[in-house]
Chains A and B, each alone.
Chain A
């Protein structure tokens, strides 16, 4: 799935910088770009989640609420985010964020347990997870290619974080 068709084509997404325009114009342009990227894999996404994702992008990349110390959101990070979602096929919707370095962030939480995935780009992700298992608090972290996430997080039994919720994929 990651290698073929529209999902495979996401790996060709490159970061585009437009330093000629003012920051407001750059943000509006970036928002449109990310929505276009999403549209290329729309057939893989649940329609209601796609709309929710667009609303979230509107909120995260709001020119009226933008910290000039933040780097512009990375197209490559966003393509890695979409590929991660399609590959992991989570049944719970993550909370989404944006790091000061322009990386997309996804968090799944349940009670005090949480996994956060930072999408670096080019399929690379940084994950950190904390869970209580058998009364003991455990945490783990690492930086891997996205297809390795299920394997490296398996010892922490992340299924309860990823599943039992709303549909994301079509």
Chain B
């Protein structure tokens, strides 16, 4: 399959565990911690999904992408998803010297057909993680509003 780079105007969506969501005193989700964008020791790239892989308006696409992720891994109502514009994420990483590649990488073993890899990504700079969490990849939604009943 030919390599499919996501267009700059499209969006990447990352699943965020509830432990990495920032809540205010009223328990509303107001963002996510920078550590949500940190690679685990065995990870070579950052996992995400492609919002515009699915048709429809933003709400319909979000429902579809949450459903696709839920086919591949456990998604609880208290979990979240961070949405970021591809160009803004690339610019943020570039400002820290990381020229990332955002690639649609479906494979037959992964039921998430929108699966996307952020390659050439480095997460050893906490200010980049903060920039992503606080600005470039900072729209955070709660899974409970998008999960199928």
Binding site for B on A (CB under 8 A): 52, 59-60, 62, 65, 67, 69-70, 93, 95, 97-100, 105, 107, 109, 112, 114, 116, 118, 126, 128-130, 139-141, 165-166
Contact = CB atoms under 8 A, between A and B. Distances in A.
B2 interface: no
20 contacts: A59-B18, A65-B79, A93-B25, A95-B24, A95-B30, A97-B20, A97-B35, A99-B20, A100-B35, A100-B40, A105-B35, A109-B22, A112-B135, A118-B35, A129-B130, A130-B127, A130-B134, A139-B130, A141-B127, A165-B25
Contact of B38 (A70, A100, A129): A100
Looking at B23, B76, B134, which has the most chain A CB atoms within 10 Å of its CB? B134
Contacts of A141: 126-127, 130
A114 B19 CA distance: 18
B126 A114 contact: no
Contacts, number: 76
B138 to A, nearest CB: 9
A128 B20 contact: no
Interface residues of B, number: 26
Contacts of B98: none
B81 to A, nearest CB: 15
B86 interface: no
Given A95-B22, A95-B30, A116-B33, A70 B17 contact: yes
Contacts of A67: 17, 19
Contacts of A130: 127, 130-131, 134-135
A100 B17 CA distance: 10
Interface in B100-122: none
A130 B30 CA distance: 16
Contact of A128 (B17, B79, B130): B130
Given A130-B130, A130-B131, A166-B25, A70 B19 contact: yes
Contacts of A99: 19-20, 33, 35, 38
A65 B76 contact: yes
A69 to B, nearest CB: 7
Nearest to B129: A128
Given A59-B18, A100-B40, A114 B127 contact: no
Contacts of B21: 97
A121 to B, nearest CB: 15
Nearest to B76: A65
B126 A126 contact: yes
B33 A97 contact: yes
Interface string B1-39: 000000000000000011111111100001101110010
Nearest to A118: B35
A43 B33 CA distance: 29
A97 B126 contact: no
